[in-house]
Amino acid sequence: MPSIGIVTPQSMHFAEPLALQSGAQIADYTLMYETYGTLNADRSNAVLVCHALNASHHVAGHYADNPKNVGWWDNMVGPGKPLDTDKFFVIGVNNLGSCFGSTGPMHVNPSTGKPYGAAFPVVTVEDWVAAQARLADKLGIEQFACVMGGSLGGMQALAWSIMYPDRLRHCMVIASTPKLSAQNIAFNDVARQAILTDPDFYNGDFYAHGVVPKRGLRVARMIGHITYLSNDDMAEKFGRKLRNAAETNEYAFGFGIDFEIESYLRYQGDKFSEYFDANTYLLITKALDYFDPARPYDGDLTRALAGTKAKFMLVSFTTDWRFSPERSREIVQALVNNRRSVTYAEIDAPHGHDAFLLEDSRYMNMVRAYYARIAGELQ
Amino acid sequence: MPSIGIVTPQSMHFAEPLALQSGAQIADYTLMYETYGTLNADRSNAVLVCHALNASHHVAGHYADNPKNVGWWDNMVGPGKPLDTDKFFVIGVNNLGSCFGSTGPMHVNPSTGKPYGAAFPVVTVEDWVAAQARLADKLGIEQFACVMGGSLGGMQALAWSIMYPDRLRHCMVIASTPKLSAQNIAFNDVARQAILTDPDFYNGDFYAHGVVPKRGLRVARMIGHITYLSNDDMAEKFGRKLRNAAETNEYAFGFGIDFEIESYLRYQGDKFSEYFDANTYLLITKALDYFDPARPYDGDLTRALAGTKAKFMLVSFTTDWRFSPERSREIVQALVNNRRSVTYAEIDAPHGHDAFLLEDSRYMNMVRAYYARIAGELQ
């Protein structure tokens, strides 16, 4: 399947302050975004793709000066792909507070002339969606054919359906949940504590000290990574294989690397700590923790979704223990209670939470079929 | 049920060097232990209780000068309790490398005159068992009525049955596993990395610097604690309850404590970092990772257990996702393959891995009945 090829990120500045759920506001901000495909004449074929934890606006294709920097959902979005850019105008947008170009903690706070750091306000899924809606306004898109996302991106899609029911015809929520469990929050908080207690964090103002809290970020990423993979998948890929299996195949009796899984996780942690911003990590985990659209309705998700108008597609993966199928079924049930149109697929995939990013023909074919249906409605 | 009351720890010094699995040796060492009940005339009623991660020789009762310091398995061991000290002579022993009195990294290395620190040798489950066997020798116990333990303690019991088949008549392995999975190792390694990268760790020689790597220990404990509890139990106990539920019941929009589960985990981490030794934590997680009695037999657990002579009892707990029932069943199957006598109970308990330490009448009654059977054999 060909990729969409070379793409170019764009930026949009917003001079009007954005009021946030916390009561704070951002005076002005910039959002990075990319678009793929062509907006049709009646502006009815736009699809918004919302990103998860460590992703960005760079959903598909690659950059002219960096062919290896391929978009995070390139297997999903492109010509002839499940979300077919020959038929749809696709927008990837980087969220507020991120470290990939949109205004975030490492940018200058206009009120102090120094990087925001700890002063960057806590943002929520709903704040991100409000900012995305303004981007849609500026791009002249009144109504999306679909808003889609996986994991935290799925939360944004769900929030769109609640906040702007008339602005999307379809909503695709993949490997997501209506709210984090205590265990989900626990993992997030340990990751945050690793960052917050790193002496190089300096209460979020490490930029001024010329250091980066790499130790904390590294541990945070290692913890997160364990929850993205399934137990079975880890067992199959790594098992108890020693890194020196081809040589001595003996235990090292020290605290270096014995097992392949250690090597893999430390590598993932190291790599992440090289490019990700610690304040962004904190912000994003908080957005995850806070997401709970049923909260204003005493926990009643059916009431929370009563005002939605979109048609929904949900997908979950059997071995995802971060956001298990049960969590998707809660959303499906609440939508059914509201007599919404819902398509739901539970994919028997071994790859845990990460499955939503991976090639799996049953999964991809489900999404492809659903977009074919949406494309049919465009005629 | 009355507790055994006031108990007094004892220590035993061993002047003969102990050769370790790594090839290193410990020149001389001390083991802390406690005993409860009375050794009968033919020395046939001794039971050894092996401890898990952060426990010690203090299995039951309390200390005269500290009535609140109750043994970690006081609900299991005592007069009239499942392991009845009116019938059995019970020994709790603190393992080598621990931080509760037995020789460990914080003690003086006789070859340097300074604390061992990083120089303390890596010890394995088999090393611990070898040291325990020497203690049994000195106490004049040729054969135990039973060796028992939960989790890492269960690994020691299993190792006893393999290493000293004639020295135990029964072996009780609770909430344990024949080896760690890749996911188990992954959690251990993240915890180790949190400690190893704490600037106050000083490569294990923090004693000389007058500091303790509390940040690392705290994060390590928080990670561990998540794996001891079940998802369901955490959901029921904490859910998404806010700490300020009785006051504003609003999100704080910061990185302090929002949720009860955060408060609980941070408290557990703080408390642990006040008393546990960082080098001990590293050693114990390595002992867990390395345990794999089937390793010399190309992974064939049946062959590994072929030489055992004990009768076995295994217990697992349905919601234990750290060492799931499946892992206990592997041991049961290998024992059955060897035509050993095996009693196996899978307890439907909500408390995850921690269930082995908690009161549960079905669990306790199973253990009680098994010990009644052993007591019957004493006549």
ipTM: 0.96
What does the pLDDT read at residue B154?
A: 98
Interface test mutation site (partner A, options B26, B127, B185, B273, max chain A beta carbons within 10 A) = B185
Average pLDDT over residues A42-65: 96
Asked whether the beta carbons of A212 and A278 are under 8 A apart, the reply is: yes
What does the pLDDT read at residue A1?
A: 63
Determine the Cα–Cα distance for residues B51 and B92; give it in Å rounded to an integer.
Answer: 8
Average pLDDT over residues B86-107: 98
What does the pLDDT read at residue A121?
A: 97
Q: What are chain A's domains?
A: 10-179+293-378 (3.40.50.1820), 184-284 (1.10.1740.110)
Q: What is the mean pLDDT of chain B?
A: 97
The percent of residues above 90 in pLDDT, for chain A, comes to 98
Known binding residue B189? Answer is no
Asked whether the beta carbons of A72 and A65 are under 8 A apart, the reply is: no
Q: Is A265 left (phi over 0), alpha (psi -120 to 50) or beta?
A: alpha
A353 is catalytic: yes
Of residues A199, A266, A286, nearest to B193 (C-beta): A266
Determine the Cα–Cα distance for residues A364 and A344; give it in Å rounded to an integer.
Answer: 14
Which among A277, A320, A328, A351 is annotated as catalytic? Answer: A320
**Integer angstrom CA distances of residue B105 from A254, A258, B120, B282:** 14, 21, 5, 10
Determine the Cα–Cα distance for residues A246 and A263; give it in Å rounded to an integer.
Answer: 15
Whether A266 and B186 lie within 8 Å, measured CB to CB: no
Residue where the block lists tokens 């990460």: A354
pLDDT for residue B24 is more than 90: yes
A151 is catalytic: yes
Asked whether the beta carbons of A115 and A103 are under 8 A apart, the reply is: no
Q: What is the pLDDT of residues A90-146, one digit of tens each?
A: 999 999 999 999 999 999 999 999 999 989 999 999 999 999 999 999 999 999 999
Determine the Cα–Cα distance for residues B282 and B286; give it in Å rounded to an integer.
Answer: 6
Size of interface A-B (CB pairs under 8 A): 145
- Residues in B closer than 8 angstroms to A237, CB to CB, are 182
Asked whether the beta carbons of A217 and A276 are under 8 A apart, the reply is: yes
Cα-based angle A229, A230, A236 (whole degrees, multiple of 5) = 100
Closest residue by Cα to residue B180 from B298, B285, B306 = B285
pLDDT tier for residue A162 given thresholds of 50, 70 and 90: very high
- How far is Cα of residue B152 from the mean position of the Cα atoms in its chain? 4
**Integer angstrom CA distances of residue A54 from A101, A205, B50, B146:** 13, 21, 43, 52
Asked whether the beta carbons of B111 and B26 are under 8 A apart, the reply is: no
Interface test mutation site (partner A, options B189, B211, B330, B354, max chain A beta carbons within 10 A) = B189
A62 is catalytic: no
pLDDT tier for residue B2 given thresholds of 50, 70 and 90: confident
**Exposed/middle/buried for residue B40 (C-beta within 10 Å: 0-12, 13-18, 19+):** middle
Determine the Cα–Cα distance for residues B372 and B83; give it in Å rounded to an integer.
Answer: 9
pLDDT tier for residue B171 given thresholds of 50, 70 and 90: very high
Average pLDDT over residues A22-47: 97
Known binding residue B166? Answer is no
Tokens at A67, concatenated: 């062919």
Residue where the block lists tokens 């009351």: B5
Which among B102, B320, B328, B360 is annotated as catalytic? Answer: B320
The model's pTM is 0.97
Of residues B182, B238, B269, nearest to A238 (C-beta): B182
Determine the Cα–Cα distance for residues A270 and A214; give it in Å rounded to an integer.
Answer: 8
Residue where the block lists tokens 């916390």: A22
Strand partners, A70: A62
- Residues in A closer than 8 angstroms to B226, CB to CB, are 183, 186-187, 190
Average pLDDT over residues B10-17: 97
What does the pLDDT read at residue A54?
A: 86
Average pLDDT over residues A289-313: 98
Sequence letter at residue B85: T
pLDDT tier for residue B122 given thresholds of 50, 70 and 90: very high
Long-range contacts of A8-17 (CB under 8 A, 24+ apart): A8/A34, A8/A63, A8/A64, A9/A33, A9/A34, A9/A57, A9/A58, A9/A63, A9/A101, A10/A34, A10/A35, A11/A101, A12/A135, A12/A138, A14/A131, A14/A134, A14/A138, A16/A134
pLDDT for residue A158 is more than 90: yes
Q: What is the pLDDT of residues A217-240, one digit of tens each?
A: 999 999 999 999 999 999 999 999
Q: Is the dihedral of CA B149, B151, B156, B158 positive or negative?
A: positive
Can you tell me whether residue A295 is helix, strand or coil?
helix
pLDDT tier for residue B3 given thresholds of 50, 70 and 90: confident
Tokens at B205, concatenated: 């020689």
Which residue in A has a C-alpha nearest to residue B227's C-alpha?
Answer: A183
Whether B190 and A226 lie within 8 Å, measured CB to CB: yes
Interface test mutation site (partner B, options A183, A202, A257, A258, max chain B beta carbons within 10 A) = A183
Determine the Cα–Cα distance for residues A8 and B219; give it in Å rounded to an integer.
Answer: 41
Sequence letter at residue B221: R
Residue A212: how many other CB atoms lie within 10 Å: 18
Residue B274: how many other CB atoms lie within 10 Å: 11
Of residues B179, B189, B238, nearest to A240 (C-beta): B179
**Running DSSP on this structure, what letter comes out for residue B261?**
H
Determine the Cα–Cα distance for residues A195 and B273; give it in Å rounded to an integer.
Answer: 17
Average pLDDT over residues A316-334: 98
Strand partners, A25: A19
Determine the Cα–Cα distance for residues B99 and B107; give it in Å rounded to an integer.
Answer: 9
pLDDT tier for residue A2 given thresholds of 50, 70 and 90: confident
SS (H, E, C) A357-368: HCCCHHHHHHHH
CA distance B280 to chain A (A): 12
Which among A151, A176, A230, A328 is annotated as catalytic? Answer: A151
CA distance A234 to chain B (A): 6
The percent of residues above 70 in pLDDT, for chain A, comes to 100
Whether A253 and B24 lie within 8 Å, measured CB to CB: yes
Q: What is the pLDDT of residues B330-376, one digit of tens each?
A: 999 999 999 999 999 999 999 999 999 999 999 999 999 999 999 99
Half-sphere exposure (Cβ direction) of A265: Cα atoms closer than 13 Å: 33
pLDDT for residue B1 is more than 70: no
Q: Helices A260-275 and B182-196: crossing angle, nearest 10°?
A: 50
Alpha helices in chain A (DSSP H): 125-138, 152-163, 182-196, 214-228, 231-237, 260-275, 278-290, 301-304, 325-337, 361-378
pLDDT tier for residue B62 given thresholds of 50, 70 and 90: very high
